Amino acid sequence: MISEKMRPFLENNSAIRMMFEEGKKMAELYGADKVYDFSLGNPNVPAPQRVNQAIKDILDEEDSLYVHGYMSNAGYPEVREAIAANLNERFDTKFAGRNLIMTVGAGSGLNVALKTLLNPGDEVITFAPYFLEYRAYVTNYDGVLVTVEPDTETFQINREAFRVKINEKTKAVIINNPNNPTGVVYSEETIQALAAILEEKQKEYGHAIYLISDEPYRELVFDGATVPFVTKYYANTMVVYSYSKSLSLPGERIGYVLIPDELEESAMTIDAATIANRISGCVNAPSLIQLAVGRCVDCQADLAFYDRNRKTLYEGLTELGFTCVRPQGAFYLWLKVPMAKDAAEGTDLAAAEAAFVNAAKKYHILIVPGSSFACPGYVRLAYCVSYETIVNALPEFAKLGKEFL
């Protein structure tokens, strides 16, 4: 008999994953070029050639016992130092290798952070719409996820709604910047306001409230947007990073947790996080790809590819009359669901969204309902697809629009 804790997961198996499976079936039926699958955030840009070359060089140059062996649970010292030096150069910070724990991607990094911090019953606040795995990750450590409703004008943080959700049980707050699913980049003003509220509430309740900044899309920004480096604004911050998106390495499972010296009881927290990494069963981050990213800390994602997709999709859809948040980061577009022309009086957002997502399938368009991010009434389009998919999908969106706009 499986655990009671696992049952709800079986019942609510990820809508995004199911959509992805549906896309594969549709591609078999109609041909891959006739299916417009915007469901999964799986990068369509190949990893930079330098990463592949680094892997080959490491295999040729390094001692194979070293390359394939166990290492410190926090990762190879030279890799952590190379990443710290690169961050210091880019963000004018003062990290050392000891501030980093290499993890099995951001998913594992978030689990390490939460395992390190949470006692049963502790509350963790996040902002809708959000990456739904956060709820599962918090539940893994018997924490309680509390969500803040969005400011649907800007999809920046809803400050007043946030303030009232903080109480003596609040242990941590998770933000995701640039944001999945909205494509919004939180501005410096937003981060300053968030930090000020947290400082005030830490004083009021007399204990640390940690900010966990989930940043797998940090480098994927457009229109000259900049992503504030949160440790500079708020001391009790952990940054969770991944190379899944920035270097198109999602299957390799590599990322890190950054714990700055300024964080309360930093040394003890770093030690605890290192142990959390080990006893989560990951033991350490994968060795070969870890060494490879250590040699590629200054590698860039192919921003021009995503930017062309972003502009074509956003401009195409808004010209058709759809209302979308102009994406500034990540590779997602957030579209407001229009009510169907024949919708019955009183149709709620969730029903309107389901009708829209199902109608899209008629045109072989796969998009993810906003409910999958705790924000009904919207849909997410992952535009990390081929340019042709976007160009060929637009006439199909026009047909969909005729039913709704």
Torsions phi, psi for 196 (to 5 deg): -65, -40
Q: Is 39 in the site for ligand PLP (CB under 6 A)?
A: no
Concatenating the DSSP letter of every residue in 292-313 gives HHHH-TT----HHHHHHHHHHH
Tell me the C-alpha distance between 171 and 17, whole Å: 30
Task: Return the number of the residue (216 or 316) whose C-beta is nearest ligand PLP.
Answer: 216
Give counts: helices (H), strands (E), the chain. 14, 13
CB of 184 to ligand PLP, least distance (A): 12
Instruction: Let me know if 25 is exposed, middle or buried by CB neighbors in 10 A (0-12, 13-18, 19+).
Output: exposed
Beta strand 210-214 with 170-176: parallel, antiparallel or unpaired?
parallel
Residue count of the chain: 405
The helix-helix angle for 387-404 and 303-319 (nearest 10°) equals 20
Instruction: Let me know if 98 is exposed, middle or buried by CB neighbors in 10 A (0-12, 13-18, 19+).
Output: middle
Tell me the C-alpha distance between 359 and 377, whole Å: 15
Q: Is 150 in the site for ligand PLP (CB under 6 A)?
A: no
Q: Which stretch in 90-98, 100-108, 202-210, 295-303 sits in contact with ligand PLP by CB under 6 A? A: 100-108
Which residue in the set 106, 112, 124, 296 belongs to the binding site for ligand PLP (CB under 6 A)? 106
**Contact in structure between 320 and 397 (CB atoms under 8 Å):** yes
CB of 178 to ligand PLP, least distance (A): 9
Which residue in the set 23, 75, 105, 369 belongs to the binding site for ligand PLP (CB under 6 A)? 105
Tokens of 23: 């896309």
Which residue in the set 214, 219, 252, 353 belongs to the binding site for ligand PLP (CB under 6 A)? 214
Task: Return the number of the residue (186 or 404) whose C-beta is nearest ligand PLP.
Answer: 186
CB of 175 to ligand PLP, least distance (A): 10
Binding mask 118-137 for ligand PLP (x = CB under 6 A): -------------x------
Q: Which stretch in 87-95, 105-113, 194-202, 266-274 sits in contact with ligand PLP by CB under 6 A? A: 105-113
Q: Which stretch in 103-111, 148-156, 163-171, 198-206 sits in contact with ligand PLP by CB under 6 A? A: 103-111
Residue 402: in which H helix or E strand, if any? helix 387-404
Q: Is 176 in the site for ligand PLP (CB under 6 A)?
A: yes
Task: Return the number of the residue (105 or 260) whose C-beta is nearest ligand PLP.
Answer: 105
Q: Which stretch in 3-11, 84-92, 99-107, 298-306 sits in contact with ligand PLP by CB under 6 A? A: 99-107
Binding mask 229-268 for ligand PLP (x = CB under 6 A): -------------x-x-----x----x-------------
Task: Return the number of the residue (242 or 287) whose C-beta is nearest ligand PLP.
Answer: 242
Residue whose C-alpha is closest to residue 326's, from 337, 308, 310:
310
Tokens of 317: 């859809």
Q: How is residue 280 annotated by DSSP?
A: I
Q: How is residue 144 annotated by DSSP?
A: E
**Contact in structure between 219 and 177 (CB atoms under 8 Å):** no
Q: Is 111 in the site for ligand PLP (CB under 6 A)?
A: no
Q: Is 180 in the site for ligand PLP (CB under 6 A)?
A: yes
CB of 219 to ligand PLP, least distance (A): 14
Place of tokens 């009671």: 4
Task: Return the number of the residue (247 or 400) whose C-beta is nearest ligand PLP.
Answer: 247
**Which positions touch ligand PLP (CB under 6 A)?**
41, 105-107, 131, 176, 180, 214, 216, 242, 244, 250, 255
